[in-house]
A and B are shown apart, each in its own frame.
Chain A
Amino acid sequence: MTATSRAEKERRLTYAQAIREALAEEMERDPSLLLLGEDIGEPGGVFGVTQGLLQRFGEERVLDTPISEEAVIGAALGAALLGVPTVAEIMFSDFATLAMDQIVNQAAKFRYMTGGRTSAPLVIRMVTGTAGATAAQHSQSLEAWFTATPGLKVVTASTPADAKGLLKSAIRDPDPVLFFEHKLLYNSRGAVPADDYCIPLGEGRVAREGSDVTLVAYLYMLPRALKAAEMLAREGISVEVWDPRTLVPFDRDGLRRSLEKTGRLVIAQEAPRRNGFCAEIAAIAAEEFFPLLKAPIKRVCGTNTPMPYAPELEQFVIPDEERIAAGVREVLYNAVRAAPGG
């Protein structure tokens, strides 16, 4: 397809619409694909992501479930092990705690434990991050728990186009994939190709070209990182914003290519600083790309606290563009430390 004809086919969709489109296209493509989740059918999901899918594909394929996360994920896994691809939704990723045995002990390890003789084409959609004043049990960013569990692929989609292409890859993947989607991105809009495209898992993306500093960001930190880069451009600082897109597998080569240009690394993350995936990225850079680095690595993270309710408290906890920009300046000018707490 030529660039123009592809551009003609692009429409501006919301992130939620892009996810829905990926689900619908994959359900058309594979008539055995099942969706499971709480309130995903008639109500269309608590954030409206699955609206219309029940009417289109029927209740045999779009299964509203009881509030039973453990049984739902186990059922999705059992079907997948018998060759039926499944997509299960965890309405708030915090509720994955109720399904941890099935995710961590069963799904993640089944192929390995059986010496490679089984495969589970299972996707778990993890609705993640704050939605604004959603407090401590509906706002967590738990992706690093799962990146620490071998056997799970972990995808973090940050734009509508990536959400569609990555989800389609996740669904076609023969292994369990946790697909993290951020609540505050659902209404964000972007160009989304109308054609059937997949974005391979394990390929990051340069979201903005730059030469002074590499700023790594995913999920809701990506739009904030882009705003920070815009602010810094006015100060004459050229920031390259790089989105890993998948945390497992992680695109080491993509990170290296960016560091070869910039030699400086700042990583932004909504999750608490301690043991976040930021730490893993920093460790990869320090261990493998140290000769490329001109300055110490900087993490800009959530504080090591549960998520508070009050908007001013939440704002204090989650990095904003100002704090991300301050992190970049610190790396460039070795200025005062930027992040509170932590």
Chain B
Amino acid sequence: MQSLASYTPAFLKELYRKMVLIRRFEERAAELRSLGYIPGFLHPYIGQEAVAVGACAALGPHDYITSTHRGHGHILARGGDPRYMYAELFARRDGYNRAKGGSLHIANIELGIIGANGIVGGGIPIAVGAGLALKQARQIAVHHPDDPRARRADGVAVTFFGDGASNQGAFHESLNLAALWRLPVIFICENNLYGEFTPQHKHQTIRDIATRASSYAVPGLIADGNDVLDVYRVVSKAAEEARKGRGPTLVECKTYRHRGHYEGDMGQYRPAEEVAFWLEADPIKNYRRLLLAGAICTEEELQALDEAVEQELEEAVAFAKASPHPAPEEALEDVFVESYGGRALL
């Protein structure tokens, strides 16, 4: 844990609020799914909130992220609106993706969210492409300062992925390419110790995924993924390097998912003492204690933040419930920019 003195109380409180927002968004989503509101997959982010919130706190308005199948935390941390997220999960027309994507595909380029992704490792090469566009933006800023793309000249791209994805070719190819071209990309590996149902020691021979950075001659840093301020500190450092044109960094955040791989998986393949250890290391519980011990907030202030989150989510759920279902023939829209009158698609 860090000294709190170097941060403003407003910043510290916002980190707390965002983590609680993610936790409660996910807990409610699980409940809503059991009630039949959500027809598709859910991969809860519960337990990993410090990673998304700490990392996104280091980002600015011209930065981009790619996310994963466990993406709700990243999207909320990056400014996603719970109303449109629930509407998407409910498969309603007001969803971020107009009910065409669901949990695994929520995206909003304007917010810098290039998308959750249903393929393990699938977002990593796409983030490299975002890095390429951001590097080009520096040239555009010099030669065509009026081009709207010039605004993102200081941008970085962050790609979130898990320990499982660190065994995909896409990860290695992308890290090599980003290193070779010195692209402003931050590779954030959320090592939650399981690739789907398989523990880390059964899917790779290393403990520290950050060591894979050395194969590509880029920095590999480790953060305590259950400590929001440590994640913020490490990702800020990586972002500063990237903004200066010094290329990518691999950041490994050690963390744990409290639940199974997806909603419905009880996670019984995990030893009880391991689960108990990590529940004790809960990022929100510990950060809450820290804020109280550091006299940043009172218990009442934290309760007020908690209640505000409940209120926001209550309204978001009501919004999603009220949102209309899509008309069946909307299935024919959005394949291409040009509609071809739908005829070529039947």
A interface list, Cβ under 8 A from B: 31-32, 34, 60, 63, 65-66, 68, 70-84, 86, 101-102, 105-106, 110-119, 150-151, 153, 174-175, 202, 248-250, 252
24 A-B pairs whose Cβ atoms sit less than 8 Å apart in the complex: A32-B136, A34-B132, A34-B136, A70-B125, A71-B125, A71-B128, A74-B174, A75-B125, A75-B128, A77-B126, A78-B132, A78-B157, A79-B130, A81-B126, A101-B119, A105-B122, A106-B117, A113-B101, A114-B96, A114-B115, A116-B100, A118-B107, A151-B335, A175-B336
B149 near A32: Cβ-Cβ < 8 Å: yes
Interface size class of B (residues with CB under 8 A): 35 or more
Most B CB atoms within 10 A — which of A76, A112, A115, A202? Answer: A115
Q: DSSP class of A's interface residues: helix, strand, loop or mixed?
A: mixed
Taken together as a complex, chains A and B put the C-alpha atoms of A81 and B134 apart, in Å, by 12
Q: Are A74 and B333 CB-contacts (below 8 A) given A84-B136, A105-B118?
A: no
B interface list, Cβ under 8 A from A: 64, 66, 95-101, 105, 107-109, 114-115, 117-119, 122, 124-134, 136, 139-140, 143-144, 147, 149, 157, 169-170, 173-174, 176-177, 180-181, 333-338, 340, 344-345
B99 near A115: Cβ-Cβ < 8 Å: yes
B107 near A117: Cβ-Cβ < 8 Å: yes
Partner of A105 from B107, B119, B340 at Cβ < 8 Å? B119
A78 near B136: Cβ-Cβ < 8 Å: no
Taken together as a complex, chains A and B put the C-alpha atoms of A153 and B66 apart, in Å, by 25
Nearest CB on A from B323, distance (A) = 13
A116 near B176: Cβ-Cβ < 8 Å: no
Total residue contacts A-B, CB cutoff 8 A? 163
B129 near A82: Cβ-Cβ < 8 Å: yes
Nearest CB on A from B80, distance (A) = 13
A76 near B129: Cβ-Cβ < 8 Å: yes
Most B CB atoms within 10 A — which of A74, A80, A175? Answer: A74
A74 near B118: Cβ-Cβ < 8 Å: no
By Cβ-Cβ distance, the 3 closest A-B pairs, closest first, are A78-B129, A74-B125, A115-B98
Nearest CB on A from B93, distance (A) = 9
B97 near A117: Cβ-Cβ < 8 Å: yes
Report chain A residues within 8 Å CB of B99. Answer: 115
Report chain A residues within 8 Å CB of B334. Answer: 111-112, 114-116
